Amino acid sequence: MSSRGKILSAIRANQPALTTMPDVESLKAYGNKENLLTQYTTVATNIGAKVYEVKSLDEVKTIIQNNFGAGKRIISTIAELSDIADTKEYLGSLPVQLADVELAVLQSDLAVAENGAIWITEDQMGQRVLPFITQHLAVLVKAKNIVATMHDAYNIIGISTQGFGAFIAGPSKTADIEQSLVIGAHGPRSMSLFLLDD
Amino acid sequence: MSTTSTKDHAELAGQFNADEQRVDWHDETLWWIRQKRDKAVNQFPEWELLRETGSKIKEHTLSNLGNYLESFEANALANGVTVHWAAGAKEHNEIVHQIIKKHGVNRMVKSKSMLTEECHLNEYLAENGIEVIDSDLGERIVQLAKEPPSHIVLPCIHKKKEEIGDLFHEHLGTPAGVSDPQILTETARQHLREVFLTRKIALTGVNFAVAETGEFVVCTNEGNADMGAHLSEVHIASMGIEKIIPKREHLGVFLRLLTRSATGQPITTYSSHYKKPRPGQEIHIVIVDNGRSVQLGRKDFRNSLKCIRCGACMNTCPVYRRSGGHSYHNAISGPIGSILAPNLDMEKYADLPFASTLCGSCSNVCPVKIDIHDQLYKWRQVIVKAGYTTKAKSAGMKMMQWTLSSPGIYHVAGKAGRIVMKYAPFAVNNGLNPWYKQRDMPKPPAESFDEWYKKNRGKK
C-alpha cells in the first residue's frame, strides 16, 4: 500500500466517533462595532504602523513626496499615482528584480480594527513578493472598509478564488535577540496606512 | 535513564542550573511574555468562548480527519499544487531531497518548521550534500551555534545577546564585541536577503491547512517565509496531518487565539494564505504522519494533536522556565513536548512526563484547552507500567507504596524523618539527595498532625 493509503487507513482506524462541528456564528456578535476608525488607528499605531487619515489621493501624494526621497524606486498598483510611482513596468520584472524597491503603495479593501491588519490579495499586490521585499510599505484603505474582528473579516473574504492573500499588520519585526523589539527584520522597515475618508 | 545513553531531563536541567543568574534571567523573560499574553487576552469578554470554539473545532476535525485530509488534498490538487504523503520522518526527508535533486540544485532556504526539526531534515540533507539555511532570525542564530531551537516560538530564548554577537562576529563578520540587537538584526537582514535572492527552492512550515479551499496559512513576524516562498521557483510546505482545519472561517478563530497566546501580539505581522502557485512556480505540500495517527488512537492522549504550537505552555511552566528548552532533548520542549514525545519513543522520552510539577498552569493558558497536566500524569502511569522508569525511581515508588499502605509504618517513617532533619540535617542536605539540588529542604515540623490531634483534640 502507498503511504497515502497507509496513513489514511491508520487515521480511520484510530479517529474517535464523529463530533459535531461547532458554530462560529455566536462569536460574530462580539467585538466593538463602534468607532472603528479610532480603534483601528490605536491598534495599528501600537504595532508600529504610521496612520494617516486622508481625504484624497492628492494628500497621499504629498505625504509620500515629503517622506520618501526622490530618485528612489517607487511602485504602485494604484493607477492614479502614476505621476509619482511606476504603475506598469514593474509587472514585467522577475521577483528578484524588485529587490531595490524603496516604497510600494498598494490598495486594500479590508482592514481589521482588533489587530490593525489589512487584507490584501495577489491582484492588489501587483507581484506577490512586492509587499514583502519593498523597504517601505504603504497601503491605502477606505475608512468605511474597517471591520471589528477577524470573524467579520472572513465573512467578507468568503472563500475567494485568489491564488494568494495575506493579512499584514504593521512593519516586519523580530524580538528574537533577548526579546528586544527590532523593526525591519526581513520585510518592510515601515508601514504607512492611508485611511481614506470619502 | 537505565537503558539509553542520552542524558535525561534532570541531568540536562542540572547543567542549565549551573549558572544561577542565567536561570533567573530566563525565568523572568518567559514570565514577562506570559504576562503580555494575559494582558492581551483579558481585553476580550469572548476569550473563553474563543478557546472553547477552537478546542471543539479541533476535536471535530480529529473525529473526521481522514475525510478532511482527502478533501484538502483534492482541493490542493485542483489549485495546481503537488501533494505528497510521508508515513515517517525518513520518507518526508527523502521526498524533500527528491524534489531538490530533480531541480538540480544543492541549496535551499527554510523558514520555521518544527516538523522539519522533528524529522531532522537539515542533518539528512547535509549528509546528502545539500546546504540548508534557516531564515527565521532565532533559528539562524541557533543554526550558527550548531544547536537545536530551545523554544518553538522563540528559538534562541536561552541565548544572551553577547553570545549572539560572538556568533555573528565569527560567521557574519560583525566587529568583535557588538551585541546591540538593532545592529545584529540589520546584519542578519543583509545576510539573509542575499540568501533569499539566490535560492531557487524554499521550504516553509504550515500553521493551518484548510480542507475547504486546499490552501495553507503560514504566520511569521519577520516576513521570512514570504521572502523565501515568493522569490523561489519551488515552494515546499511540510505539514503534520493535524494541521487541518475544516473551513476558512475557522481561521478567524485560530488567528485570534494564536499570537495572543504566544507573545501577546494581536496577530502576527504576516498571515499568508497560499492557495495556488504563481505562474511558473511549483508548490509541493508534504503531508506527514510520523506517529500522529498512533497518537490519534490513544484515547487519553489524542487531544495533544489539537496543539497550534503557540508556546504558551512553555512560557508559563515553572519547570520549563527554570530548566531551559534543551533539557527536554526533543524538538518540541516544555509541557506539550512532554506529552507528544513519549508517543514517538516511550523509552527515550520516559523522563519527560516527570519533568513537571503538575500545577496545571499549562492547561489554563492553552488556547485549544488541551488537558496537558492530566496527560502528563497519565503518561507517568503508562510509562511506569511499561517499565521505562529508572531503577532509582522504581525503588523509590515501591518504598513509598510500602510506607503509605500501612499506618504503622507511615507513623514510624514520619517520626524518623523529622528526627533526622532536626538532629542530622546533613544526612539529607547533601548531593546524594536529588531534591536538595537547587533547593533547600523544608524545615521539619515539630510533630505530625496526628500527634498534634491526639494531644489537642483526642482527649475530648
Q: Please state at what angle helix B181-198 crosses helix B224-231, rounded to 10 degrees.
A: 20
Does A94 contact B at CB distance below 8 Å? Answer: no
Contact flag B293-A11 (C-beta cutoff 8 Å): yes
Q: Are A196 and A142 in contact (CB under 8 A)?
A: yes
Each residue's pLDDT, cut to its tens digit, for chain B (460 residues) gives 334 446 899 999 999 999 999 999 999 999 999 999 999 999 999 999 999 999 999 999 999 999 999 999 999 999 999 999 999 999 999 999 999 999 999 999 999 999 999 999 999 999 999 999 999 999 999 999 999 999 999 999 999 999 999 999 999 999 999 999 999 999 999 999 999 999 999 999 999 999 999 999 999 999 999 999 999 999 999 999 999 999 999 999 999 999 999 999 999 999 999 999 999 999 999 999 999 999 999 999 999 999 999 999 999 999 999 999 999 999 999 999 999 999 999 999 999 999 999 999 999 999 999 999 999 999 999 999 999 987 667 777 777 777 788 888 888 888 887 887 777 777 777 766 766 666 777 788 888 888 888 888 876 5
Name residue B82's beta-bridge partners: B284
Distance between first and last Cα of chain A: 61
Is beta strand A146-147 parallel, antiparallel or unpaired with respect to A136-142? Answer: unpaired
Nearest to A3 among B87, B136, B278 (CB): B87
Contacts of B260 (CB under 8 A, 6+ apart): B37, B40, B41, B266, B367
Chain B residues within an 8 Å CB radius of A126: none
Nearest to B138 among A11, A128, A176 (CB): A176
What are the residue ranges spanned by the domains of chain A?
3-196
pLDDT at residue A98 is higher than 80: yes
- For A122, other C-beta atoms within 10 Å of its C-beta total 19
Q: A145-154, A176-185, B434-443: lowest mean pLDDT where?
A: B434-443
DSSP one-letter code for A135 = S
Q: Map out the domains of chain B with their CATH numbers.
A: 9-38+311-391 (no CATH), 69-293 (3.40.50.10420), 406-456 (no CATH)
Contact flag B252-A167 (C-beta cutoff 8 Å): no
Contact flag A132-B87 (C-beta cutoff 8 Å): no
Contact flag A188-B223 (C-beta cutoff 8 Å): yes
Does A25 contact B at CB distance below 8 Å? Answer: no
Task: Say if domain A3-196 classifies as CATH 3.40.50.10420.
Answer: yes
Contact flag A22-B256 (C-beta cutoff 8 Å): no
Find, in chain B, the residue whose alpha carbon is nearest to that of A20: B60
Is beta strand A182-183 parallel, antiparallel or unpaired with respect to A173-174? Answer: antiparallel
Chain A residues within an 8 Å CB radius of B221: 172-175, 185
Is beta strand A118-121 parallel, antiparallel or unpaired with respect to A164-168? Answer: antiparallel
Give me the percent of chain A exceeding a pLDDT of 90.
Answer: 95
| Spatial separation of the C-alpha atoms in residues B205 and B114, rounded to whole Å | 7
Name residue A53's beta-bridge partners: A195
**Exposure class string for A71-96: b at 16+ Cβ within 10 A, else e:** eebbbbbbeebeebbbbeebeebebe
Query: How many Cα atoms are found within 13 Å in the side-chain-facing hemisphere of B79?
Result: 32
Handedness of CA B386, B390, B396, B399 (dihedral sign): positive
Q: Which has more confidence, B414 or A181?
A: A181
Nearest to A26 among B49, B251, B256 (CB): B49
**Cell numbers for B27:** 525565568
Does B249 contact A at CB distance below 8 Å? Answer: yes
- Nearest CA among B335, B365, B369 for reference residue B261: B365
Query: How many Cα atoms are found within 13 Å in the side-chain-facing hemisphere of B301?
Result: 26
Does A159 contact B at CB distance below 8 Å? Answer: yes
Beta-carbon contacts below 8 Å between A and B: 250
ipTM of the complex: 0.98
